Structure 1
Amino acid sequence: MNPYQQKKRWKYSLLTFAVVIASGSLFYTSYLVKKIAQSERTRAQVWAMSIKMVTSSDDNDFLSYVLAVRDSSIVPAIVIDEKGDFKFTRGLDTTKTFIKLSPEELKESKQKYDLDYFKDELAYMKKQHEPIRLTILNEPWLVYYKDSALLTQLKMFPYIQLSVIAIFLMMAYTAFSSSRKSEQNQVWVGLAKETAHQLGTPISSLMAWIELIKDKFNAENDPLMAEMENDVRRLEIVADRFSKIGSKPKLEEHLVYDVVKEFVDYFKVRVSNKISFELTGSTELYAGLNIPLFDWVLENLLKNAVNAIDGTGSIKVDISGNRLKKQVYIDVTDTGKGIPRSKFDTVFQPGYTTRKRGWGLGLSLTKRMVQNYHNGQIFVRDSELGKGTTFRIVLKSVNHDNPTTA
């Protein structure tokens, strides 16, 4: 299995496990909330019945007991008659609930309590629970109540708990990811510099051997020797590329078209003649480039395009720009097998490859060199299975006089 796919499967497994834990927590909390809600309704019913007992009994001892039971209820409640007039309240804001007067006194003293507060509380209670109906002195009364502060807190607790856990996990993941990227960068840099060091000695030897062959066989103007020298110089460039990884390369202003054309001309003679190359677009756009590293970017994209083409095909490189955004666009289009839309981002992940012998590092390195070293962007602009793919490089434009608007 592809290492990236394996890592992705682990992520999905952990996410599924987290969802199961969260669902279990919510389910259990919901179960507790229902039990407490049933208990609170029972308390509200006891409180409602106590009101009926208070209004219909003359036994002082019994009334004292009933009042004690009533006052033990912690459920906020409001009692109204069929006309909607307030009769009693329980567990509301004491600074707004001056409602211990008789009904007659209450009607004359509305300014002594906050009527809007009662109406808001009553509307809220009506949304929460069905009322408890009583008949007192042959008059129907309605007892409305709402969840206690304890029950409300219990309802909110799992969401607060899960939010805290989620924030902690995000922080832990960010720290872990940052640490892992740092380790990866150290591995990249160490491997690259060691590769450059190892290549140095054989490259120097090859250059010396070429000079000896020229002298011994009088092959100064032999075209084969010229090609060998080109390849040795190419090896020098590769070693130079690896040596630059890990350090901030110096960017210089270059005409983008000329840089791209020089590399395409070098590359196309080294692949099958069944694949045609075309370079189009603006010839007047400048950008800050590090030639060895940018050639590496082009090489990886063109190799990727060649590998995507099965047999005969074509590769087109188009250069354009946007004057308003001050950007240069380099589009590399092939007529290969294409990339599924779901893999547009995945192709840049280390280890992702569709080739049996591939390492899955080419496009990952390419993205690193474009973003980290050239302050640009690279992404899959478009792709269709069976028809081809277009990769786009976005660079900052240095010259903005005559760019073509894309």
Structure 2
Amino acid sequence: MNFNPKKKASNIILLISAFVIVSLILWNTNSFFKNFKEEERLKMEIWATAQLELIQSSVDQELGNLTLKVMGNNTSTPMILVNEEGSIKTHNISAEKAADSIYLQRKIRQFESENEPIHIIQEGELLETLYYGNSEVLNKLKYYPLALLLIIFLFGAVIFFFFKTNKASEQNKLWAGMAKETAHQIGTPLTSLLGWNELLKSEKINQDITKEIAKDITRLETITDRFSKIGSIPDLEVHDIVSETEKAYEYLKRRSSKLIHFSFTSDIDELPVLLNPPLFNWSIENLVKNGIDAMKGRGNITIEIEKKGPNVHILVSDTGHGIPKSNFQNIFNPGVTSKKRGWGLGLSLVKRIVEEYHKGKIKVLSSSKEGTIMQISLKANV
């Protein structure tokens, strides 16, 4: 496995640079928002001054026209003008809403929270109070930092999942490499064992002994074949799911303790399914062995096959101590195990074989102190 520290460092630098750029954009937007708000405040103060000039110069036509021109330039900022008697005038608010006193009172409170009111004073006497809200442009700009923060969050989430997926991919390559190397290492002594067994047969040794050795050699060949398939897409062919499951069942039954009671049931005689038999049998064996470990070598193991619609379900049950519901998904992750000396690879391999290679599903159907039922679901080839 080739781990590239330079590539990892460049990814970190790229991530930091991206966050710095986005942070600068956020800071710049916030500064722009404040400056724009100050600009609007200045315009409102000019408008208030024009309003005062209008009151003072009602006889001066020229000054009145200039004042009206200044006041008429504001067509975007909503305003409510309240005089000392409580009379209300509105600007840039629709006539229908301006006629609703409750709406205007609510707007006054809103404008007061957004911007400090401007008092129009003449010779120490309060004539009018100007309440104004944010313009439409400012309102849109106000939510821009929130949108940018959301973008930062989504960007961070994408980067996080990218690194997580990349790490998982590297781990998968590592395990696949180890599996293939194991298969390669087993191959050499296995060839030697085949030769020695043939030699023993020629020496007229008890045939039962050589037959059992041949069975174990065949078993080692199967294991080698399984490990060699990890990390590559295996070939799937049509096989009878019932007979293939029963083969795995019989093998385990013969080689397990007499304290384990095995049972096998099926509601169908045969059913064609696209399978890779060595890998499928490996999945069944892993589930059964996990069940035996959960029962501490004493209890009942049941394998059931049932067809429901287009799918066939293989149920592997044990009478072990059960799995907490919170761990129903976690147990399929690499490294998760309840065994003191376990590697936590068995169920993760089963999940990969079932879901990635056979396009099926595996899950904990149920679990309690009385036992656990694991379910493999595959699509029937009919």
Q: Which sections of structure 2, spanning at least 5 residues, go unmatched? A: 1-25, 122-126
1:89 to 2:72 alignment = no
Tell me the amino acid that sits aligned with residue 290 of structure 1: N
User: Could you say what secondary structure the match of 1:269 adopts?
Assistant: helix
1:155 to 2:142 alignment = yes
1:216 to 2:200 alignment = no
Structure-2 separation of matches of 1:143 and 1:197: 86
Tell me the amino acid that sits aligned with residue 187 of structure 1: L
1:128 paired residue among 73, 95, 110: 110
Structure-1 separation of matches of 2:67 and 2:97: 28
Deviation (angstroms), 1:302: 0.9
2:246 paired residue among 254, 258, 261: 261
1:242 to 2:227 alignment = yes
- Counterparts of residues 221-232 of structure 1 (less than 5 Å): 222=208, 224-232=209-217
Deviation (angstroms), 1:375: 1.2
Deviation (angstroms), 1:48: 6.1
Equivalent position of 1:313 in the other structure: 299
**For each residue in 1:383-405, what CA deviation from the matched residue of structure 2 results, as whole angstroms up to 9, or x when unmatched?**
12x22211111101123xxxxxx
Equivalent position of 2:15 in the other structure: none
User: Could you say what secondary structure the match of 1:359 adopts?
Assistant: coil
Q: Which 10-residue stretch deviates more, 122-131 or 313-322? A: 122-131
Q: Residues 149 and 369 of structure 1: is their aligned pair in 2 closer, same or farther, counting only changes over 3 Å?
A: same
Q: Residues 315 and 42 of structure 1: is their aligned pair in 2 closer, same or farther, counting only changes over 3 Å?
A: farther
User: Could you say what secondary structure the match of 1:317 adopts?
Assistant: strand
- Contact 2:333 2:348 (C-alpha < 8 Å) held by counterparts: yes
User: Could you say what secondary structure the match of 2:235 adopts?
Assistant: coil
1:389 paired residue among 372, 377, 380: 372
Structure-2 separation of matches of 1:71 and 1:348: 70
Deviation (angstroms), 1:296: 0.7
Equivalent position of 1:344 in the other structure: 328
Equivalent position of 1:10 in the other structure: none
User: Could you say what secondary structure the match of 2:179 adopts?
Assistant: helix
Q: More relative contact order in 1 or in 2 (CA 8 Å, sep 6+)?
A: 1
Deviation (angstroms), 1:62: 9.4
TM-score (norm 1): 0.69
Q: Residues 246 and 397 of structure 1: is their aligned pair in 2 closer, same or farther, counting only changes over 3 Å?
A: same
Equivalent position of 1:201 in the other structure: 188
1:173 to 2:155 alignment = no
Equivalent position of 2:265 in the other structure: 280
Structure-1 separation of matches of 2:45 and 2:371: 73
Deviation (angstroms), 1:272: 2.2
Q: Residues 307 and 149 of structure 1: is their aligned pair in 2 closer, same or farther, counting only changes over 3 Å?
A: same
Deviation (angstroms), 1:53: 6.3
Q: Residues 164 and 392 of structure 1: is their aligned pair in 2 closer, same or farther, counting only changes over 3 Å?
A: same
Q: Residues 41 and 341 of structure 1: is their aligned pair in 2 closer, same or farther, counting only changes over 3 Å?
A: farther
Deviation (angstroms), 1:171: 2.8
Tell me the amino acid that sits aligned with residue 89 of structure 1: H
Equivalent position of 2:280 in the other structure: 294
Q: Residues 312 and 178 of structure 1: is their aligned pair in 2 closer, same or farther, counting only changes over 3 Å?
A: closer
- Contact 2:336 2:343 (C-alpha < 8 Å) held by counterparts: yes
Structure-1 separation of matches of 2:143 and 2:220: 65
Equivalent position of 2:236 in the other structure: 251
**For each residue in 1:312-335, what CA deviation from the matched residue of structure 2 results, as whole angstroms up to 9, or x when unmatched?**
311111111212xx1111111111
Equivalent position of 1:109 in the other structure: none
Equivalent position of 2:14 in the other structure: none
Structure-2 separation of matches of 1:150 and 1:87: 23
Q: Residues 127 and 219 of structure 1: is their aligned pair in 2 closer, same or farther, counting only changes over 3 Å?
A: farther
1:353 to 2:354 alignment = no
Q: Which sections of structure 1, spanning at least 5 residues, go unmatched? A: 1-25, 93-113, 400-406
Structure-1 separation of matches of 2:107 and 2:321: 64
Deviation (angstroms), 1:294: 0.5
Structure-1 separation of matches of 2:222 and 2:109: 75
1:371 paired residue among 348, 355, 376: 355
Structure-2 separation of matches of 1:88 and 1:154: 24
Structure-2 separation of matches of 1:127 and 1:358: 66
- Contact 1:74 1:148 (C-alpha < 8 Å) held by counterparts: no
**For each residue in 1:278-334, what CA deviation from the matched residue of structure 2 results, as whole angstroms up to 9, or x when unmatched?**
1112233321111111111111111111111135311111111212xx111111111
Equivalent position of 1:22 in the other structure: none
Tell me the amino acid that sits aligned with residue 392 of structure 1: Q
- Contact 2:300 2:318 (C-alpha < 8 Å) held by counterparts: yes
Structure-2 separation of matches of 1:52 and 1:230: 106
Structure-2 separation of matches of 1:42 and 1:381: 69
Q: Residues 142 and 332 of structure 1: is their aligned pair in 2 closer, same or farther, counting only changes over 3 Å?
A: farther
- Contact 2:238 2:381 (C-alpha < 8 Å) held by counterparts: yes
Equivalent position of 1:54 in the other structure: 54
Q: Residues 162 and 133 of structure 1: is their aligned pair in 2 closer, same or farther, counting only changes over 3 Å?
A: closer
Deviation (angstroms), 1:275: 1.7
User: Could you say what secondary structure the match of 2:282 adopts?
Assistant: helix
**Count of paired positions:** 342
User: Could you say what secondary structure the match of 1:381 adopts?
Assistant: strand
Deviation (angstroms), 1:202: 0.9
Q: Residues 38 and 308 of structure 1: is their aligned pair in 2 closer, same or farther, counting only changes over 3 Å?
A: farther
